[in-house]
């Protein structure tokens, strides 16, 4: 019985896998849509294997037509652009302090970026929230 299983496994060959490739050249900062990528037979180390892994994400680098799309090169869509005025929010228990800040970098949800408080000109680092505000933590 074990011999039949080995023969069946050898005849089946290696499992086929797909790689996500670009259907057109995608520039950096392009948000990937369903019509921008497709699956192609074969595997490339580090490349996305499912369309869901890259659709809706933003390209961090340019990818040319028919080239694989690597997961590490697609990030969260940018919510905060450099020089954009954003709300800064500091929360500690029930205490909430809000201020206005100018972004010194760009970032998507979950990214750490530097922000300059427009009133005090102090520079802080904060986490970009889903609504585009920046959450600042206490430093000790």
Model confidence pTM above 0.75: no
Question: So where are the chain's domains?
Answer: 15-75, 78-136
Exposed / middle / buried, residue 31 (Cβ in 10 Å: 0-12, 13-18, 19+): middle
pLDDT in tens, 39-60: 999 989 989 999 999 999 999 9
- Give the mean pLDDT per block of 10 residues along the chain (140 residues): 47 64 94 94 91 93 95 92 95 92 94 95 95 86
Class of domain 78-136: mainly beta
Give bridge partners of residue 113 from the DSSP assignment.
126
Q: Which CATH number fits domain 15-75: 3.40.50.800, 3.90.1210.10, 3.50.50.60, 3.40.50.300?
A: 3.90.1210.10
3-state SS, 70-111, equals EHHHEECCEEECCCCEEEEEEEECCEEEEEEEEECCCEECCC
Structure confidence at residue 12 (pLDDT): 44
Question: What is the C-alpha to C-alpha distance for residues 62 and 74, in angstroms, rounded to an integer?
Answer: 10
């Amino acid at each position: 019985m074990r011999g039949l299983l080995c023969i069946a496994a050898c005849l089946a060959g290696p499992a086929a896998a797909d790689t996500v490739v670009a259907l057109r050249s995608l520039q950096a900062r392009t948000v990937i849509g369903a019509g921008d990528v497709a699956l192609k037979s074969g595997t490339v180390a580090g490349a996305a294997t499912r369309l869901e892994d890259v659709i809706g994400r933003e390209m961090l680098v340019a990818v040319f037509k028919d080239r694989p799309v690597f997961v590490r090169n697609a990030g969260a869509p940018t919510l905060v652009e450099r020089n954009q005025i954003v709300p800064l929010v500091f929360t500690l228990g029930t205490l909430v302090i809000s201020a206005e800040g100018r972004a010194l970098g760009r970032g998507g949800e979950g990214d750490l970026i530097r922000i300059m408080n427009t009133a005090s000109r102090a520079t802080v680092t904060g986490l970009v929230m889903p609504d585009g505000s920046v959450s600042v933590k206490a430093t000790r």
